[in-house]
Homo-oligomer: A and B are copies of this chain.
Amino acid sequence: MAVYTEVSDEALRAFLSGYDLGDLVAFRGIAEGVENSNYGLKTTGGDFILTLYERRVDPAELPWFLGLMRHLAARGLACPQPVAGTDGEALRELAGRPAAICTFLPGVWPRRPSVAHCGPLGEALAALHAAGEGFAAERANSLGPPGWAPLLERCRPNGDTVQPGLCAELDGQLAAILQDWPQDLPRGHIHADLFPDNVFFLQGPDRRPRVSGLIDFYFACTDILAYDVAICLNAWCFEPDLAFNVTKARALLAGYNRVRSLSAAEMAALPVLLRGAALRFLLTRLYDWANTPAGAMVTRKDPIEYLRRLRFFAAAKEVSAYGI
């Protein structure tokens, strides 16, 4: 649920005067996303999304994110396109925050992802990886392996209040993951946060879900492509009771392979990538759990769900042991 920054009428009007979007028709806060403030903006020119970038986003990195979105859209990927003002600049300021207007994407994110979503998701993820080629600038993954030990340190003062012995268990898991982490896998620009609420679907003529767009590229970075697959397997293929759904995982991988084939080396590395992805979300959730003020307007997410995933993936050395 996210509207952290209120925008006054006068400020909005002044901001929109820098664009050629017609007259203001509506402006409503969107109860989605947890990092930034998002507003649905309707003008006589159409529907748009206005994003105010909040503290977790480094303003210096915004040109990279917007540039990547522009590059991906130009290569045919359905993702929000930054809308330039009359001066040609898309990244502007509103209510003391960096701000940008992007195109509105049709579609609905799946509240309960099914097997039917996972194939199209895999295809869309591979299409994203392919479309990212040729975007020369790189962005290091600040939440990648080198960031995990420092993040665990920041969780240590309160981590064991969530579950006794948790930090010691994570010390062990982290050491094992870093030791096994692959060094030579294909790299590229990855989304790094492709959870169900960042993937819009519409029903195709065959009544099956089709991906209509991918959103929220503000964790995107340059990293191992198969790590993005591991993030999606974590995010899409567990049931509410945290059982791993092999059918969903197979559908996701089959979809991915239809667009970009995972190599034998990538498949062999999947177990450690899956453990790493589980640890990454466990750590940020653990940190947020212990550090979210009680009055904050966000729902804290349970870190233990990702401990369960991590333990599941750590129990096997080969991907075949998961059933995929």
Which residues of A line the B interface, CB within 8 A?
A: 1-3, 6-10, 12-13, 23-32, 40, 42, 47, 104-108, 110-112, 200-203, 209, 294-295, 297-300
Contact = CB atoms under 8 A, between A and B. Distances in A.
Contact of A30 (B23, B24, B29, B104): B29
Given A1-B297, A294-B295, A32 B32 contact: no
A172 to B, nearest CB: 31
Nearest to A201: B9
B8 A111 contact: yes
A23 B201 CA distance: 13
Nearest to A3: B31
Contacts of A1: 1, 3, 29, 31, 297
A108 B41 CA distance: 10
Contact of A9 (B13, B26, B27, B110): B110
Contacts of A47: 42
Given A106-B25, A297-B299, A7 B111 contact: yes
A196 to B, nearest CB: 10
Given A1-B29, A26-B108, A28-B30, 15 more contacts: A1-B31, A8-B112, A9-B111, A9-B209, A12-B108, A24-B202, A25-B106, A25-B202, A26-B200, A28-B32, A30-B31, A30-B40, A31-B31, A42-B47, A297-B298
Nearest to A27: B108
Contact of A106 (B13, B42, B105): B42
Contacts of A10: 112
A202 B13 CA distance: 11
B111 A6 contact: yes
A45 to B, nearest CB: 14
A93 to B, nearest CB: 17
A302 to B, nearest CB: 12
Contacts of A26: 104-108, 200
A111 B201 CA distance: 33
Contacts of A295: 294, 299-300
Contacts of A29: 1, 30-32
A118 to B, nearest CB: 14
A146 B81 CA distance: 55
Nearest to A37: B31
Contacts of A202: 24-25
A290 to B, nearest CB: 14
